[in-house]
Chain A
């Protein structure tokens, strides 16, 4: 039997069997890779692995080795879907979730007045949940165009309905969670029992999205289906007969466009109605009496009766429990507390079903769900031949993920971003702001002199506050520019492609392609980068990726780089900055090899990821992110950095007897820092002023610059530093311990031991790297 991995790009096949075991196999089935599904190989990644497939109208990527687990039969001539004009008879509107003439459910048992209604927003990854959440609540949560932007739950009240709480959950493909953030979603629906579920479905990718809908219906919770991105579907000539959909699913179905705020009010009305009147799904029996001779139908119903009392006791919806028991979900089975006889009876029923249906248990359940979905979509959905968005994505992908163009284009894009940020836009704006700050400082200096202000106070304001805070503030434009480009990468959908073609390369160092996402986010800030590792499905990959994020230069380190290269290497400034970024990446790769050999033996997790269509980044989203970053940067400049600057100024200008000293060598700071200087002597950073600057960087990296500005107030004092010292300083700053916020994030994710280990380890790495640079510099006479 041919295997999927043997198929060539452009060839199509029908899945005949899905081999393998465990969570990965279940994930394949959940993603629609079930016997009978037609699959087309779109392309192989530039290095020949992973492969991109098209099935159920969407793009899925998986590794060639994993494709070896899937048996297929070739289709000699792939039939293109014919866009025939479908004539449907008019179907009455079932009127579910509203007080219409068919209002048959929930009349007798509404929630008591004043009850705070809890809603869960559940859907596949990248289906627009957070966009809808923002619409519903007026919140401004970050949205992006790659699977797994949301990694934790977020709560808010629906606008105009103060007695409601809606929870935005990480995207899931099924109720069999595959990664840690998916467990958050499943646990929420199962354990916290919301009053209603808003199931958001991407209508441009309806078959795969409806798989989760099927499982949610089994939960027996009031539910409304929101068909999102309807504008995209209809503008491409597609359509959905909402009445048929609503009638067959037995829950209210509302077409919406969260991005354009269309249909959202109607959705809210339905959601509030079903939650208030506790209107549960009308229909749950999707197993089809005549499919595969009714084997699955009889199996599910038989087991339902067997476990009914256990499910009631455990508080698990009966139909859901029956399906999960058949699939062999250990969590549900143990929660039910079945005795040995019952387990035996169930096993016999399932074996008989497998025999009759010719499918194993997991495949049979997935097949049952997908059959219903295909039948439903056949009756209710008019598909466009190919959407404009998909056509555009295919064209762009020819260049951005092409065999010979993907890696050069990636390097070109990253190079362009660096050049524009450090060499053109950011640098120009920075110069502009710096000259403004200089002018203001001069004005204040003049005003203070005219007002005959006390010399000490004059020094504190001009040499302390203005020099320190001002030196940091001038880097704001560079940071904002870099964030602008990072946000464009995230929102466009390119980041998922980078994961796709980098997978093989990353696998060599023990990681999966998905690890590239946290690392790219790490160039912005380590804290969200650490959080975003939750999308990785194995603890091993997660830990390893977290340990690598400190090697990526976050934007807070940029003021350090810019400050020193401007002062010491003005002609080749941006080249040195790019060199530092590359050094971080290279050392990160070496560290990964080390981690793989020592700490994290074993194989990286399989790479199974959906490729979204490219989208034009939303201007509002990009501007919002830039504004947030600017606001937080300014807040930090006038809080942590202001305090640090004043403190450094004070410690530098007073001696241990608390008297003002003109000689900084006699200051409190020199006395304290001098104790630690010998440690930094071998790497050329023995000057106590450098040491103090680096220590303040632990609070916030930008503080290194402000402290440096206070401690080295003029070019004469800076002249004492050699180029080699500055290079060692840059290398040390690149690698030493992440700031306190990043360490706190690591502590939250991995625990206190790992966080402490990261802080110490990064300092050791930085020290060793700086020692090497110093030694080489001394050898070539650069000292």
Chain B
């Protein structure tokens, strides 16, 4: 395993960790349902939170 492998593994691990954290926190807080229509819909409280 060379240095490039190690760097790539670390990068992938960081990306995956970030993605998982985002999914979990978003769902936990009800921050975003992922529909992409936050300005129109109040299904989640993302908008309220942001505006407040």
Contact = CB atoms under 8 A, between A and B. Distances in A.
A538 interface: no
B37 A527 contact: yes
Contacts of B28: none
Interface in A409-457: 451-454, 457
A527 B2 contact: no
A249 interface: no
B37 A141 contact: no
Contact of B35 (A152, A157, A632): A632
Interface string B17-52: 001101100000000111111111111000110111
Given A154-B51, A631-B36, A700-B34, A643 B1 contact: no
A254 B47 CA distance: 29
A640 B23 contact: yes
Nearest to B50: A139
Interface string A138-152: 011110100001011
A399 to B, nearest CB: 28
B39 A638 contact: no
Most buried by B among A149, A154, A165, A461: A154
Interface in A523-552: 524-528, 530-532
Contacts of A530: 43
Contact of A525 (B5, B20, B37, B51): B37
A163 to B, nearest CB: 13
Contact of B37 (A140, A142, A451, A744): A142
A527 B35 contact: yes
Contacts of A261: none
Interface stretch (A236-244, A565-573, A621-629): A621-629
Nearest to B9: A457
A748 interface: yes
B34 A741 contact: yes
A405 interface: no
A142 B39 contact: yes
B39 A625 contact: yes
A636 interface: yes
A457 B5 contact: yes
A263 interface: no
A635 interface: yes
Nearest to A170: B42
A55 interface: no
B48 A528 contact: no
A451 B4 contact: yes
Contacts of A646: 12, 16
Given A141-B39, A625-B39, A636 B34 contact: yes
A742 B41 CA distance: 12
Contact of A453 (B8, B39, B52): B8
Contacts of A451: 2, 4
A639 B23 contact: yes
B8 A457 contact: yes
B32 A454 contact: no
Nearest to A625: B39
A432 to B, nearest CB: 22
| Chain B residues touching A, range | 20 to 34
Given A642-B16, A745-B43, A528 B35 contact: yes
Contacts of B48: 154-155
Contacts of B52: 155-157, 165
A453 B19 contact: no
Chain A interface size, as a band, is: 35 or more
A460 interface: yes
Given A149-B40, A530-B43, A741-B35, A642 B15 contact: yes
B40 A528 contact: yes
B22 A639 contact: yes
Nearest to B38: A628
Contacts of A629: 36-37
Nearest to B34: A741
Contact of A745 (B12, B23, B33): B33
Nearest to A141: B39
A574 interface: no
A391 B33 CA distance: 42
A453 B1 CA distance: 8
A119 interface: no
A730 to B, nearest CB: 23
Nearest to B8: A457
A633 interface: yes
A43 to B, nearest CB: 31
A140 B36 contact: no
Contact of B33 (A149, A165, A527): A527
Interface in A101-129: none
Contacts of B41: 142, 151, 527-528, 531-532
B12 A460 contact: yes
Contact of A748 (B9, B43, B47, B51): B43
B51 A635 contact: no
Contacts of B1: 454
A156 B37 contact: no
Contact of A156 (B12, B16, B51): B51
Contacts of A156: 51-52
A528 B4 CA distance: 45
A700 B27 CA distance: 13
A154 B42 CA distance: 8
Contacts of B8: 453, 457, 461
A641 to B, nearest CB: 9
B12 A638 contact: no
A532 B35 CA distance: 14
A759 B51 CA distance: 33
Contacts of B51: 137, 139, 154-157
A625 B41 CA distance: 12
A142 B2 CA distance: 51
A501 B12 CA distance: 54
B21 to A, nearest CB: 9
A524 B37 contact: yes
23 contacts: A139-B47, A141-B47, A142-B37, A144-B40, A155-B51, A156-B52, A452-B4, A453-B2, A457-B5, A457-B8, A527-B35, A527-B43, A531-B41, A531-B43, A624-B39, A629-B37, A638-B19, A640-B34, A642-B16, A739-B34, A741-B34, A744-B33, A748-B43
Interface of B: 1-2, 4-5, 8-9, 12, 15-16, 19-20, 22-23, 32-43, 47-48, 50-52
Given A154-B51, A632-B34, A636-B36, 11 more contacts: A155-B48, A527-B37, A528-B43, A531-B43, A532-B41, A624-B39, A625-B40, A628-B37, A646-B12, A646-B16, A742-B35
In the complex, the 4 A-B pairs of residues with the closest C-beta atoms, listed nearest first = A632-B36, A142-B40, A528-B41, A527-B35
